[in-house]
């Protein structure tokens, strides 16, 4: 059975969109994931999708097609990535508040990060995979070819949607770190009152271990709530996918 030119062109454009999206994703696009695995996954997904995709390709303006595809792929992948960026930011805020930001390690994904950040990122990644978030993401990639033809994405609307998504990073990060911030703030107020009542009290000697101790207590008590919190965002991510695909196809 011969392979027609149209099928080859279809496969190449499917490969282009799938590769751009998957390389922006956490875990699949991670620098820690072997390159052979990433290439094999991209080729496998592209080969599976190609028979069900119909692309009407006009050979004019290849540069604009590539630009539109790159922006579309980045915004789609950002719907997942922004959750993990928010968790990284929340972990950094909690580490700074508790006084653990001095102990940093090198993270290939974001550079220098704390162990607390890596712990939350690992939990989030396991939740994402266990709740089949990656399955729905692949479904969204396939659906995007039906609503947004190659090179037919609305750049203006997608850029606007991407900016709105990036703004949510700080919102989610503050929600994650809010319990630690609140406990440390209350502790500071109480220590300030205690210092006024007892000027001889060495507040600096007591405050640092107290921040760490209370911070760990709040973290342990808050992990079950973090599961619920992050799980809800993963389920909401499906609505983000649908909305972005509809917006990009206008």
Question: Would you list the domain boundaries of the chain?
Answer: 5-248
111-114/104-107 β-pairing: antiparallel
Average pLDDT over the chain, rounded to an integer: 76
In 3D, which of 226, 123, 141 has the Cα closest to residue 177?
A: 226
Kindly tell me the burial class for residue 8, based on how many C-beta atoms sit within 10 Å of its own C-beta (0-12, 13-18, 19 or more). Answer: exposed
What does the pLDDT read at residue 83?
79
d(CA 33, CA 122): 14
Give mean pLDDT, residues 204-208: 74
Long-range contacts of residues 65-69, Cβ cutoff 8 Å, at least 24 apart? 65/150, 65/151, 66/16, 67/155, 68/151, 68/152, 68/153, 68/155, 69/16, 69/17, 69/20, 69/150, 69/151, 69/153
pLDDT at 1 over 50: no
CB 109 within 8 A of CB 31: yes
Ranges 64-68, 104-108, 179-183, 209-213: which has the least confidence? 104-108
Kindly tell me the burial class for residue 190, based on how many C-beta atoms sit within 10 Å of its own C-beta (0-12, 13-18, 19 or more). Answer: exposed
d(CA 235, CA 230): 9
What does the pLDDT read at residue 108?
52
pTM: 0.73
pLDDT digits (tens, 9 = 90+) for 187-200: 888 888 877 777 77
Give mean pLDDT, residues 98-108: 62
CB 202 within 8 A of CB 96: no
Kindly tell me the burial class for residue 203, based on how many C-beta atoms sit within 10 Å of its own C-beta (0-12, 13-18, 19 or more). Answer: middle
pLDDT digits (tens, 9 = 90+) for 132-190: 777 777 777 777 777 777 766 777 777 777 777 777 778 888 888 888 888 888 888 88
């Amino acid at each position: 059975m011969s392979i027609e030119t149209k099928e080859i062109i279809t496969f190449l454009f499917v490969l282009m969109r799938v590769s751009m999206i998957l390389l922006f994703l956490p875990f699949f696009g991670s620098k820690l994931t072997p390159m052979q695995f990433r290439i094999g996954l991209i080729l496998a997904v592209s080969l599976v999708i190609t028979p069900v995709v119909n692309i009407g390709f006009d050979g004019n303006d290849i540069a604009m097609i590539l630009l539109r595809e790159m922006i579309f792929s980045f915004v789609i992948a950002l719907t997942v990535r922004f959750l993990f960026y928010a968790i990284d930011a929340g972990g950094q805020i909690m580490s700074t508040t508790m006084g653990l930001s001095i102990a940093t390690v090198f993270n290939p994904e974001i550079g220098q990060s704390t162990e607390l950040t890596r712990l939350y990122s690992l939990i989030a990644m396991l939740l994402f995979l266990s709740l089949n978030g990656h399955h729905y993401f692949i479904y969204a990639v396939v659906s995007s070819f039906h609503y947004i033809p190659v090179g037919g994405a609305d750049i203006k609307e997608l850029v606007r949607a991407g900016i709105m998504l990036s703004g949510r990073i700080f919102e989610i990060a503050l929600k994650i770190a809010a319990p630690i911030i609140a406990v440390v703030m209350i502790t500071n107020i109480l220590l300030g009152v205690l210092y006024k009542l007892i000027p001889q009290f060495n507040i600096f000697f007591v405050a640092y271990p107290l921040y760490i101790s209370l911070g760990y207590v709040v973290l342990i008590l808050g992990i079950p709530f973090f599961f619920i919190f992050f799980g809800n965002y993963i389920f909401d991510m499906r609505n983000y996918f649908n909305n972005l695909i509809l917006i990009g196809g206008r």
